[in-house]
Structure 1
C-alpha cells in the first residue's frame, strides 16, 4: 500500500469541481478555470523517494482543497500501474513511464513527468487521445549533466583514463607526458539542443574560456525568443540566451550540416528523442565533422569530440563506431546508447577513445528537491488557470 497524506477537504467534490478530460482534440490541452484552493483536486505522486521535509505540510497549508497521496510504487521498475490506487479522482499525477488508461483516470488534468524527455509516453492513449497536459522535469538535470559533460571532456583532454590505467599498474608514466594537452580556452563548443542542459553546459564552458555555438530547431532571432521559458535552477543556466556567440537553427539536413561544419572542438548532443531526431547523427554527419577540420584554417587538423547526454537513438551506433575507428572524430563520451542497456558483448565497448557510463549523468541528491519545485510551480499555475511550465507540445513531442 502507498503512503497517504490526505488533506481535510478530501475528494468528494472532485466530480463537480474538475471536468472530464475525455473528448475533444488532444492538441487543445486543458486550461482549467482558476481554483485558488484547488478544491476537488487530488495529487498522486508515484515515487519511492522521500519527499522533501515539510513539503506536504506547506502544500496542504497553501491549497486547503487539495488531497495528496504519496505512493511508493517505482514507475521506473517496469510493470503497470499500482493496484492500490483509486484513479477515478486523481487530477494531478507525478510519475515516470507508468500511466493509467484514460478510462480509469477520467478527471486527470496534468501529468508531471519525472524526466526531461517525454519520448516514452508519446504513443500512450492518455497522451494521444485526451486533453491531459503533460509536463517534463526539464531543468532539474542541468547542473549535474553539465558537470558530466565537462568532466568527461576534461578527462579526455588530460588523458585521465590512461593515467588511471597506469595507477592500477603502479607505473609512474610521465614519459608520455608532452605539451600537446589542450585546455578549453578558446575552444569552440557546439550544443545541439539548447535547452536547460545545454544552457548550463554553456555557462560552465564560457566560464572556462570556451566559445559556444547553439543549435535549435526553430530560429531565435530576437532576444525574447532566446529566453528560457522553462524551469531552471535559480542563478544557473543561460536564462536570457546571451552566451552563444553564434546561433544556428533549422530542421533540414543542410541546416544541421552547416552547424556541424562550423569547426567544433566539442559537440554536445542534448536533443530529445522524437521521430525527427532519431538517427539525426549518422555517417554523413560524422563525415561533415571530419571534413570541417580540414577546411578550417584556424583549426586545421583538429577533430571534434562528441558527448551524448540526450538519447541513444539520436546517434546511429554503427556510424559512430565507424567514425571512431576511422578517426573522423577525436573520441566520444556516451551516457546514453543504442541499444540501451548496452549488451556486454557489443563492439562499441571496445572502440578507441571512448567513455561510456550507464545513463547516470542525471543522478543527483538534489533531484527530488528540484522536481518538487516544478510541481510547486505547476500547482500554482493550476490554481490560477494558467499554462503549465515545461508543458509538452503534443504535436512536436517535447
Structure 2
C-alpha cells in the first residue's frame, strides 16, 4: 500500500482566489468530491446514542446524512464504507479498516480527550498497586487492622512506555508528576519532549551501535524499571511484539497494558509473572475480549483485569475530530488524524 504520511505542500491561493488551499493532490480531489457529493453515512456499528450529535455536525457543515453510499463514512466496518472517498473511525483503533480499504481512500481516526483519560487510568493503577489498595480493601471488609508490610515508595523511579504516540506521551507526562524518569520506546526512536529519552526498541534491548552510542541521558536499564506501560496500536508489526525474551530483561516490573492485547501473549504474561520478571500486571486489554471466565488471569492476585475501559470515546470526541479533519480537507491539507497506511496508525 502507498504511504499516507507525506506532508502536504505549502498552502497556495486557489485559482478563483477565494480562499487558501493546499496542494496535496489526493486531499484536493477529496475536497472536490465533497463539494460535488456532500454526503455522510453513519455506519450501523456507530452507537445510536451518538447519531443526534453527528447528524447535527453534518447538517451544520452542509453535509446530508444518508443510509446509502456516501462520500464520508463514519464507521469501523469496511463493508459500511462502499464508495466512500473518506472514512473516519469513531475510535482510535483502525485495525479492521486500514488493511481493508483501497489505498486511495483517506482514513482518519478519533483521538480527542482519550489520551488524558488513559493517562488517568495508568496513574490510578500505578498508585493502587504501589499503595496495596486491593490488600487494604480486603482487610477492611473483615475489620482487620494489619499494619505489617506497609506500602513503600519505589526505590526505582524509572518508567518505560512502549509506544510514543498521543497516548504514550500523555502517560509519560502524568508519570513524570510522580517523579518518574520516563523513557519512550518506539519503532523509530524519534525524540519527543514528553519523554526524558526516546529509544528504538531494537537499541533499548540490544547493544548500542558504535555509530549511535547511548548517552547518559539516553541510558535505559530494563532491570531498574519500576513501571512498564504498553501503549501500542494493533498492527502486524506490534502483534506479539512483547516477547518472553524482551520481558526477561526486566526485574519485578509492574506492567500496564492499555493498548492492544495482541501485543503480548497470555502465556508470555503468565510465564513472566511466575518467574518474577513481572510483579504485577494491570490489563485493560487482553488477547481475546471479553476474557473467558476460564482464563487463569482471573485467578491470580498479581493480575488486575479491567474490561477495556481506559480510553472510552465520547461523542464529542468524534464530532471534534471530524470537525478538525473536515476543515483541513476543505483547505486542501492532509488532516493530522490521517492514518499512515504503511504503518497502520
Tell me, yes or no, if structure 1 residue 324 matches structure 2 residue 281. no
Match of 1:265 in 2: 226
**CA offsets 1:100-146 (integer angstroms, 9 cap, x no match):** 277xx32x12111122121122442xx2x341111122344211111
CA distance in 2 between counterparts of 1:54 and 1:328 reads 47
- Give the CA deviation at 1:147: 1.1
**Structure 2 contact 167–231 (Cα < 8 Å) conserved:** yes
CA distance in 2 between counterparts of 1:282 and 1:391 reads 30
CA distance in 2 between counterparts of 1:209 and 1:336 reads 26
- Give the CA deviation at 1:387: 0.7
Q: Counterparts in 2 of 1:1-398, with a 5 A limit?
A: 27=3, 30-33=26-29, 34-35=31-32, 38-46=35-43, 47-51=46-50, 57=56, 60-61=59-60, 63-64=61-62, 66-69=63-66, 85-87=67-69, 90-96=70-76, 98-100=77-79, 105-106=82-83, 108-124=84-100, 127=101, 129-169=102-142, 171-178=143-150, 180-182=151-153, 187-220=157-190, 226=191, 241-250=192-201, 252=202, 255-256=204-205, 261=222, 263-290=224-251, 303-363=252-312, 367-398=314-345
**CA offsets 1:147-189 (integer angstroms, 9 cap, x no match):** 11111111110000111112232x23333243x5226x97111
SS of 1:340 mapped into structure 2? coil
SS of 2:161 mapped into structure 1? strand
Indicate how the Cα distance of structure 1 residues 163 and 257 shifts in structure 2: closer, same or farther if over 3 A, else same. Answer: farther
TM-score under structure 2 length normalisation: 0.80
Q: Which has the higher contact order (CA 8 A, sep 6+)?
A: 2
SS of 1:121 mapped into structure 2? coil
Indicate how the Cα distance of structure 1 residues 288 and 382 shifts in structure 2: closer, same or farther if over 3 A, else same. Answer: same
Match of 1:22 in 2: none
Q: Give ranges in structure 1 of 5+ residues lacking alignment.
A: 1-24, 70-84, 221-225, 227-240, 291-302
SS of 1:330 mapped into structure 2? strand
SS of 1:209 mapped into structure 2? coil
SS of 2:249 mapped into structure 1? helix
CA distance in 1 between counterparts of 2:193 and 2:99 reads 36
**Structure 2 contact 328–334 (Cα < 8 Å) conserved:** yes
Q: Give ranges in structure 2 of 5+ residues lacking alignment.
A: 5-24, 208-219
CA distance in 2 between counterparts of 1:285 and 1:37 reads 47
CA distance in 1 between counterparts of 2:181 and 2:320 reads 31
Aligned-pair RMSD on alpha carbons?
2.7
SS of 1:191 mapped into structure 2? strand
SS of 1:100 mapped into structure 2? helix
CA distance in 1 between counterparts of 2:85 and 2:195 reads 37
CA distance in 2 between counterparts of 1:386 and 1:218 reads 25
**Structure 1 contact 36–384 (Cα < 8 Å) conserved:** no
